[in-house]
Amino acid sequence: MTANKVLLQRKYTRLIQLFAEKADMNIEEAMDKFYHSETYQLISNGISDMHCRSDLYLVDDLLIEYGYKKDIYY
C-alpha cells in the first residue's frame, strides 16, 4: 500500500522532531540521520506498511538503529 505523500511528509516531520528530542540532538542532525536511515528506506518504499506504525514505535527503531537505545529483543 502506498501512503499519501503529504501525509508521509507530515509523519516525517513528526518523526524527526521526536527523534531529535529523544536523542538530544538538533533538528538538522536528526534530519540527516533520519533520511539516511534504514527506517526511512522501509517507510518510503512502503515495506510492511511501516508508515502505519506509531511515531513512537518508529522513533524507537531510529534510536536503536543509531545506538541511542538498546534493543530489548536481543
Question: Model-level pTM?
Answer: 0.89
Angle formed by the axes of helices 27-35 and 5-23, nearest 10°:
120
Q: What is the pLDDT of residues 19-40, one digit of tens each?
A: 999 999 999 999 999 999 999 9
CA separation for the pair 27, 14 (Å, rounded)? 11
- Tell me what pLDDT residue 40 has: 96
Closest to 15 (Cα-Cα) out of 70, 62, 48: 62
Q: Which of 9-13, 24-28, 51-55, 70-74 has the lowest mean pLDDT?
A: 70-74
